[in-house]
Chain A
Amino acid sequence: MAIVLFIVLTLASILGTLIPQQRTPAEYQAHYGSLSQVIAGIDLDRLYQSGWFIGLLLLFGLNLVVCSLTRLTPKVRKTFGSAWTVEARELASLKTKESFTRRSGLEAFVAAARAELGRRRFRVAEKSDSGRALLRARKHTLGLFGSDIVHLGVLAILAGGIVSGLGKYRSDVSVSEGQTVPVPSRAISLRLDKFETEYYPAGAVKAWKSTVTVFEGGTPRLTRTIAVNHPLSYKGVVFYQSSYGWDWENPALELRVKKKSDPAFLKTISLTPGGKAAMDDGTEITAVRFLPDFVIGADNEPATRTWEPNNPAVLVEGYRKDARVFSGWIFAKYPEFTHFRDSGEMDLAFELASYKAPQFSVLQAASDPGVPVIWTGCVLLMLGLFFSFYWPPREIKLVLEGREGPCVSVSAGGLTSKGRDRFEEEFASIMAVLRRIS
């Protein structure tokens, strides 16, 4: 059953990487044609969130619980139960074994053997009746339960996933410099004190840094800088640097105005979109619209291609006595493309000298109650793997029979699941010590 589930889960996971996830129905229609009906029908477009996949994961968890419990009960009874016995015959059938006779009293021998085993960190259980003693020495017992600890870890990770799925909270907070924005459904708000982009000398981005102040109940609580890989955690809510941009709806523009008739004339006017500035000849100049990355769209209308200032352009209009006398786009990077309509014999020339927009930072606010459960699961998983691969349980059993003389006849046998070579070395050196007991 477990093996079937392994295979089914693997195949389902592979399927989810072959079909692009979380796209629009139109994209599936374009790519898969009539098959897109099937994809939508059994949620292949959001496979990992679909009921059947989560059901598979739950079944996997259930299987894990059942398997572990059925195997665990006899294992616990066998390991910790008091009903055990040893026969010299069964020791003789083991791979690691020795038997010899030693001139010593039984009780003295038992005490010395226990001391030696104890010195090597074995835990020793003893049963003795008339003239016979049985010793069972064990160490690394946890190694027996390695796989169970792994299973517990995997279960915790699955449980953590469920907790995350039910209790996860995530929200993007977009905030401009100087602005204070409430964090959705949390009683805190964020103020962006500063946003900066650092660059390497060659021009690549080195870091995005948002310095924010967290407010709770109107009072500032703490100020920290958030960067990629350096989130800010505040009372269970973690803030991540997620994205950034410029508020191009509200840029501060500077136009440099020249006169063809008067080479000495130079005037710089500051404008915001919608704002007006009057020239000394009575012309009123308006910045109608600003686009950070000017392009002529498919509909033959000006639009912006991106929100990066790659090709900043402003639409400027001139009015005299409420009548429009000229209108045209001015390009910051391509002044020669500037062309005015309705201009007649236009005397003014413009350059877009500067364009600045307030920067905003997008911070992701998230809280996920499943996370501690997941980390617990990870620790258990790694501990379990360590115990099952590198902590092999070792067991040495001894049957000691007191004889006339007095002497003791010793039958010893050892068991381990892994690392037989090193165990045999340890077994041999213990036997060497026991052979010297007198």
Chain B
Amino acid sequence: MNEPTFFLLAFLAYVLSALAYFGSQLFRKERWARAGYVLAGAGFAVHSLALAARTIKSGHAPFTNMYESISFLAWASALAYVLMEGKFKIRKTGPYIMLIVVALMAIASSPLMPKEATPLVPALQSYWLWLHVSVTLLGEAFFAVAFVASLLFLRADARGRKPKGEEGARAAERYDAMSYRAIAVGFPLFTLGGLVFGMIWAYKAWGAYWSWDPKEVWSLITWLVFALYLHTRIVLGWKGRRAALIAVLGFLAALFTYFGVNYLLTGLHSYA
């Protein structure tokens, strides 16, 4: 079996996982949610094989063009979700995170994305490629989990404010905790991979650790938004709605750093 087959199987498992999760919500069947979780894990495992097969075949890290990097982001999001769900057991985040994973897989499979592995340009031939990109994308995957948890928080919170909304309020509290925990993992990872490793590699490759390149600036913006989240939470005690809104903004900034900068702005990071 080769990479495209593994990729397809993983895609299929993610789709089934999302369907099982949505089915579980629609028909209130707890067992389906468990099936969704198992399928997500299975998808992640097969997806890992796909990435490994591609790495062996191409001889370089599996995130050097848009197809590879989106596939890797989907893989990282599945990982982040499997870990967070294992800890928090909030099945209701499942459908939405799996929806993001499925969407990423669909974008990666689109015929507009060239799939063939091209040899690495000189600038990317470095072990920092592994460290910088994988850790950053993993951090962003945790931001995606925080994003989903925050959106669900906002919904549950609105329900909790109505009369007899105790259940909504209780759920909201758990979403808030989950969002915070995802950021507590994602923020150090993003800082390390995106900013610290990025600066080290930039210094080694370009001779300057910081060049105010749009991708660098947008990483900094993302970092500032999540730093704001942590400050308002720890110093001012902001929880709940305002915290959720900042987390949503932070994820949107991360998304723009990842996609938008490549397509809308030009700069040094124009590889993918």
Contacts and interface: CB of A to CB of B under 8 A. Distances in A.
Minimum-distance CB pairs A-B, first 3: A228-B122, A48-B212, A229-B126
A229 B265 CA distance: 25
Which of A17, A206, A208, A382 is the most central at the interface, judged by chain B CB atoms within 10 Å of its CB?
A17
Interface stretch (A5-13, A211-219, A256-264): A5-13
B188 A389 contact: yes
Contacts of A48: 212, 217
Nearest to B214: A17
A229 B170 CA distance: 52
B234 A147 contact: yes
A161 B210 contact: yes
19 contacts: A2-B231, A3-B228, A3-B232, A6-B228, A10-B224, A10-B228, A13-B224, A16-B217, A17-B214, A17-B261, A21-B212, A48-B212, A227-B122, A229-B128, A238-B207, A242-B207, A375-B200, A382-B191, A385-B187
Contact of B207 (A204, A364, A374): A364
Which of B184, B207, B208 is the most central at the interface, judged by chain A CB atoms within 10 Å of its CB?
B207
A374 B199 contact: yes
A348 interface: no
Interface in A349-377: 364, 366, 368, 371, 374-375
Given A9-B224, A21-B212, A170 B207 contact: yes
A319 interface: no
Interface string A1-43: 0110011011001101100010000000000000000000000
A231 interface: yes
B227 interface: yes
Nearest to A239: B207
Interface in B158-214: 184-185, 187-188, 191-192, 195-196, 199-200, 203-210, 212, 214
Interface of A: 2-3, 6-7, 9-10, 13-14, 16-17, 21, 48, 147, 161, 170, 200, 202, 204-208, 227-229, 231, 238, 240-242, 364, 366, 368, 371, 374-375, 378, 381-382, 385-386, 389
B188 A386 contact: yes
A7 B229 CA distance: 11
Contacts of A231: 204, 207
B188 A205 contact: no
A135 B235 CA distance: 30
Contact of A378 (B199, B206, B232, B234): B199
Contacts of B218: 17
Given A229-B205, A374-B209, A378-B196, A6 B123 contact: no
Contacts of A13: 217, 220-221, 224
B225 interface: yes
Contacts of B208: 170, 366, 368
B207 A14 contact: no
A16 B185 CA distance: 29
Contacts of B119: 200, 202, 204, 206
A254 B200 CA distance: 47
A229 B188 contact: no
B118 interface: yes
B58 interface: no
Given A228-B122, A382-B192, A3 B224 contact: no
B121 interface: yes
Contacts of A389: 184-185, 187-188
B125 interface: yes
Contacts of B199: 374, 378
Given A3-B228, A207-B125, 16 more contacts: A3-B236, A10-B224, A14-B221, A17-B261, A161-B210, A170-B207, A170-B208, A204-B119, A229-B125, A229-B205, A231-B204, A240-B206, A378-B195, A381-B196, A389-B187, A389-B188
Nearest to A6: B228
B216 to A, nearest CB: 10
Nearest to B197: A378
A237 to B, nearest CB: 11
A223 to B, nearest CB: 21
A380 to B, nearest CB: 11
A368 B207 CA distance: 9
A229 B187 CA distance: 27
B215 to A, nearest CB: 9
Given A2-B231, A3-B232, A6-B228, A382 B123 contact: no
Nearest to A385: B188
Nearest to A161: B210
Contacts of A208: 122
Interface in B4-38: none
